[in-house]
Structure 1
Amino acid sequence: MRSFHVSKPRVITVDKNPAYPVAIQQLKQKKKIPEGIQIRQVKYLNNIVEQDHRFIKKRVRSMLGFKSFDTATSILSGVEAMHMIKKEQIDLRD
């Protein structure tokens, strides 16, 4: 996020998991994120980031989890790449 065209977020939207406020507070204390960022916890908000994980969850459940970190990394990279191609976020034309 150090590019000139990327602005700092004002609000972080997450679900109602109780671990999020604790983690964000710790990041603020360690100066990893600015103090002015607010956290918004909404259980059923159509959060684009949270919705994007459902395709990975679908794959992982059918595989009954991963056996090693290397396997997880390679499989999830492939799933993410295919999903980005499907959403036309990658231009494959020359």
Structure 2
Amino acid sequence: MADITIPLSKPYTVHDKTFASIKLREPRYREIFMEGRGKPREWQPSPHGPVIVSYPAVVDSYLQELIVEPGYECIGNLDVVDALALEKAVLDFFPM
């Protein structure tokens, strides 16, 4: 799989760097298994049947490694719509 680019809802400027998209590379075996991150979401039982639970800390851990451009240090002030698009991009690497 090639790098993917997530378009943002608006341009952001951080540390004199302006960007309107974020480029991610796909996770590697080392990051998933050797470093113990595992999957960022999983099925969990509930009284009403199974539900999917996602783990924000695991998503963030992946983003620290996977962001190619503009850099992880630039994403702290993303608006909610863009933060959720970034989360979805990470989750999409791991089909259910």
TM-score of the two chains, using structure 2 as the length reference = 0.30
Bigger Cα Rg: 1
TM-score normalised by L of structure 1: 0.30
More strand, by proportion = 2
Q: Comparing both chains, which one has the higher relative contact order based on Cα–Cα distances under 8 Å and sequence gaps of 6 or more?
A: 2
